[in-house]
Structure 1
Amino acid sequence: MEKRNTDVLVLGGGAAGVNASIAAARHGLEVVLIESQGCLGGSRTAAGVDTFYGFYTPGENQKRIVGGIPWEIAQKLSIEHSSFERPNTYGAGTGITYDVEKLKITYENMVLEAGVKLLFHTYACQVNVEDHHIMSVVIANKSGLTEISAKFYIDTTGDGDIAARSGAPFDKADSEDLQSLTTIFFMANVDVEKAKSIPHQKMADLMKEANRSGTYKLPREDGSWHRTPNKGVIQCNMVRVSGVDATDPFALTLAEVEGRKQAQEYARFLKEYISGFEQSFLIATSQHIGVRETRRILGEYILTEEDVVRGAKFEDAIACCSAPVEDHHSGSGTRWAYVKGDGIYHIPYKSLVPQNIENLIVAGRCLSATHGAQASARNSAQCMAMGQAAGVAASLCAEENSSFRTLNVKRLQRRLLEQQAII
């Protein structure tokens, strides 16, 4: 088996992993980033979620609460006329909708320009641990198996795969209580202005009517669609595949099959029931189904829904969030709970530090949080901010010769603020 060494191994090239890799590499560390798909971005690209949420607070007097590398990425898309801002249907705040293909290129350029060594089509299949430290990770790709030893490991897999395989404790709801999965789909040749004349509630009522007719099977009598930067092309978030543990490969495979079937059904509904869709057609489904929740690590602190709703502030804050709890449960609707007080809460550093493992940090939706809190903190801007914090933390641990658990958090906060992050 081939053996390699690096300073930092980042596992998972989604929103969190990209930012973690860039942050660590910009501090002069040798970074290897592995990704299972053939592109960077995860949910933001491969799963078709073409909008960054979480950059702004909701309401009329919106305030930007995420900066740093995430905002740098958003600005690059804006400068290239590949994105636009739009209000959110459910009061979660202004979103930044972008061209998915442009984001793939933007991520790749920034990662490679930072000096990151990038590997696509690669999985981590084994984690070797000694004395509460990860010693190496075995990866699998077209070359076979390769063992990579690093000083620090960043788990941005979304599912907390590396944390789980290292023996770090985690929580995971029963499959029926996990948030549902969604296959995003895109339609073209839509008369967007005409379609916008149909209110959201009217569309939901028509879904109920279609189900009652017996000729449709629409599990979610809700959902949304929005325009994209490309004329006549819209993105749809309607599919609901419930009761699936996405860490079970057999269940996940069947979910992919079901998701595509539902996408066809919802596309047929839009074409037959909604004005403006008469001449439309389905052009794409997401590269893989979107997963909202699987494992949540048990860290030094577990963020709770109560923390979210009351707008909790923490001394070890590394990111801000205003996103409401958005719980896509197994029913036909979605549960919402909004942040009170000043409308902002903090994500604490301790929620990124797993118990039991010293040289591992996580970022993204597998953070240490309850089911309800994760349903808020999983928004893209927050995952990106967590990623930057994890990458900077790795660089400081290298400087201090410390573990993630013993890191001087005040120094981390100062370094983040110097990089225009908002805490």
Structure 2
Amino acid sequence: MSDPLLWSGDVIVAGGGSAGCAAAVAAAREGASVLLVESAGFFGGTGAAVLDTFYGFYPPGGNERVVGGIGWEVCEALFAREAAFERPNTYGAGTGVTYEPEILKQVWDDLLADADVTTLLHATVTDVLMDGDKVSHLGLHTAAGPRSVKAVVYIDATGDAELAWRAGAAVDAPRDQVRRQPMTATFRLGGVDLARTSAADLHRRMAEATGYVLPRREGSTHRTMLPGVVHTNLTRVSGADPTDPWQLSDAEREGRRQVREYVRFLTAEVPGYEQAYLINTSIRIGVRESRRLRGRYLLTRYDVLQAREFADAIARCGAPVEDHDGGSKTVWEYVGGAATGRSYGVPYGCLLPVEVGNLLVAGRCLSATHSAHASVRSMAQCFATGQAAGTAASFGENPADLDVQVLRKRLIDQGALL
């Protein structure tokens, strides 16, 4: 790779969302020199660009958290700034932590700086150079043009498995899958009279609505930190491949078209929304599922629904299978068969490619089937798997050779819940 070398060190994390930021902080706190690469101009990823609620910290029907560590540290920082509150999910998916996205960006800036992570924004991975079965360099497009960066261990927290895919690891790609989660453009409305709104009334009116094109006849609008402002998760762009540039471009426009239709419906048909106005749409469309690693262990629907335990678990999850690939409805299946607070372990093998020796993945591109992914993709689990990947990367060159019990003990010492 002939591009000028921009940085060299112990660990490079690609993707500055929940998983990537947690990975970078974890590795740096363990003494590694860390570079965090992000294509946007801020850290927080989907959590700052699309959503305003973390799910997965609490299992449905349970009051005990299943995720701690860096993820909960982020929540505590938001609580301390009076920028977050806990609330029940509309569908019983467990208590969520609703926060103000602009403050989340600041929290990540502070945590990354305090951990002495080197951060690179407005940089996109364009190439992966291999040396045998290991990643040697990454090619980046930066504000200064093409550059290369080099590390001992790499972490793919891109959400789309960009590093794993480019490095030749086995992945399940959207174009090869029969089933695929749809995408969603979220939006915020101001001027809402919250005292006159209810989820039950909204769902009834959507189900009965005529004269509107509403691809999803359920979904949620919920209060935010701001008075009279609601955040919505209503639109549904189905059948598009988020790794195809033309389809992704079309999906962005279709998402905004649906936003316009849902706003028309809400202001005309739903009490409390008569004076509502559109504040903004998500910075980019929300992608639930794209490429998924085929790693050393493949988490399955059976593992999730049977609440399986694993000797090499590096995270826990109690989030239900939340499959939006169900027409106008969403399919919900609970861990253990009911919303009773149960959870399962997430194996370390889900973070490890078979074909690439010095690469880990974290977040929603980990190794899981379509149905299992619909549970383990929750935001709290992105924090948890990111922390596990970052801690593992700090141990050195061959993550697959790491004594997982040593890793588990270190994660517990860091406040992780296993």
Instruction: Provide the C-alpha distance between the structure 2 equivalents of 1:176 and 1:168, rounded to a whole number of angstroms.
Output: 21
Instruction: Provide the C-alpha distance between the structure 1 equivalents of 2:239 and 2:203, rounded to a whole number of angstroms.
Output: 22
Contact preservation (8 Å) 1:243, 1:330? no
Please show how residues 15-414 of structure 1 align to structure 2 within 5 Å.
Answer: 15-47=18-50, 49-59=51-61, 61-174=62-175, 177-196=179-198, 199-200=199-200, 202-210=201-209, 212-213=210-211, 216-329=212-325, 331-340=327-336, 343-396=342-395, 398=396, 402-414=397-409
Instruction: Write the deviation string for residues 329-387 of structure 1: whole angstroms up to 9, x where unpaired.
Output: 05111111100176110000000001110100000000000000000000000000000
Contact preservation (8 Å) 1:22, 1:111? yes
Contact preservation (8 Å) 1:58, 1:94? yes
Higher mean C-alpha deviation, range 364-373 or range 169-178: 169-178
Instruction: Provide the C-alpha distance between the structure 1 equivalents of 2:130 and 2:414, rounded to a whole number of angstroms.
Output: 33
Instruction: Provide the C-alpha distance between the structure 2 equivalents of 1:370 and 1:172, rounded to a whole number of angstroms.
Output: 12
Instruction: Provide the C-alpha distance between the structure 2 equivalents of 1:147 and 1:78, rounded to a whole number of angstroms.
Output: 39
Instruction: Write the deviation string for residues 116-173 of structure 1: whole angstroms up to 9, x where unpaired.
Output: 1111111100001121100000000211111111101000000001000000001134
CA 1:221–1:176: 2 relative to 1, 3 Å: farther
Residue type at the aligned position of 2:197: A
Cα shift at 1:207? 2.1
Instruction: Provide the C-alpha distance between the structure 2 equivalents of 1:176 and 1:103, rounded to a whole number of angstroms.
Output: 36
Instruction: Write the deviation string for residues 22-41 of structure 1: whole angstroms up to 9, x where unpaired.
Output: 00111121111111111111
Partner of 1:13: 16
Higher mean C-alpha deviation, range 247-256 or range 168-177: 168-177
Instruction: Provide the C-alpha distance between the structure 1 equivalents of 2:96 and 2:166, rounded to a whole number of angstroms.
Output: 35
Contact preservation (8 Å) 2:188, 2:230? yes
Partner of 1:2: 4
Say whether 1:421 aligns with 2:416. Answer: yes
Instruction: Provide the C-alpha distance between the structure 1 equivalents of 2:347 and 2:195, rounded to a whole number of angstroms.
Output: 43
Instruction: Write the deviation string for residues 44-99 of structure 1: whole angstroms up to 9, x where unpaired.
Output: 0112x10011111211x411111111111110100111000000111111000000
Question: Tell me, what secondary structure is at the counterpart of 2:49?
Answer: coil
Question: Tell me, what secondary structure is at the counterpart of 2:295?
Answer: coil
The runs of 5 or more residues in structure 1 that have no matched partner are: none
Question: Tell me, what secondary structure is at the counterpart of 2:238?
Answer: coil
Residue type at the aligned position of 1:276: G
Instruction: Provide the C-alpha distance between the structure 1 equivalents of 2:63 and 2:77, rounded to a whole number of angstroms.
Output: 21
Residue type at the aligned position of 2:188: F
Question: Tell me, what secondary structure is at the counterpart of 2:179?
Answer: coil
Residue type at the aligned position of 1:50: D
Instruction: Provide the C-alpha distance between the structure 1 equivalents of 2:44 and 2:236, rounded to a whole number of angstroms.
Output: 22
Contact preservation (8 Å) 2:174, 2:243? no
- The alignment covers a number of residue pairs equal to 411
Contact preservation (8 Å) 1:177, 1:330? no
TM-score, scaled relative to structure 1: 0.95
Instruction: Provide the C-alpha distance between the structure 1 equivalents of 2:300 and 2:69, rounded to a whole number of angstroms.
Output: 26
Q: Which runs of 4+ in 1 moved over 3 A?
A: 173-176
Instruction: Provide the C-alpha distance between the structure 2 equivalents of 1:58 and 1:361, rounded to a whole number of angstroms.
Output: 29
Higher mean C-alpha deviation, range 65-74 or range 341-350: 341-350
Instruction: Provide the C-alpha distance between the structure 1 equivalents of 2:31 and 2:415, rounded to a whole number of angstroms.
Output: 19
Cα shift at 1:204? 2.8
Instruction: Provide the C-alpha distance between the structure 2 equivalents of 1:419 and 1:283, rounded to a whole number of angstroms.
Output: 39
Kindly report the root-mean-square deviation, in angstroms, between the aligned alpha carbons of the 2 structures: 1.2
Residue type at the aligned position of 1:221: R
Instruction: Provide the C-alpha distance between the structure 2 equivalents of 1:390 and 1:77, rounded to a whole number of angstroms.
Output: 24
Residue type at the aligned position of 1:235: H
Q: Percent identity?
A: 47
Contact preservation (8 Å) 1:180, 1:330? no
Contact preservation (8 Å) 2:10, 2:394? no
Contact preservation (8 Å) 1:66, 1:385? yes
Question: Tell me, what secondary structure is at the counterpart of 2:297?
Answer: coil
Residue type at the aligned position of 1:422: L
Cα shift at 1:264? 1.2
Instruction: Provide the C-alpha distance between the structure 2 equivalents of 1:298 and 1:346, rounded to a whole number of angstroms.
Output: 18
Instruction: Provide the C-alpha distance between the structure 2 equivalents of 1:387 and 1:81, rounded to a whole number of angstroms.
Output: 25
Question: Tell me, what secondary structure is at the counterpart of 1:374?
Answer: helix
Question: Tell me, what secondary structure is at the counterpart of 2:11?
Answer: strand
Contact preservation (8 Å) 1:7, 1:30? yes
Contact preservation (8 Å) 1:191, 1:277? yes
Instruction: Provide the C-alpha distance between the structure 2 equivalents of 1:222 and 1:371, rounded to a whole number of angstroms.
Output: 22
Higher mean C-alpha deviation, range 380-389 or range 112-121: 112-121
Instruction: Provide the C-alpha distance between the structure 2 equivalents of 1:140 and 1:250, rounded to a whole number of angstroms.
Output: 21
Contact preservation (8 Å) 2:203, 2:217? yes
Cα shift at 1:206? 2.0
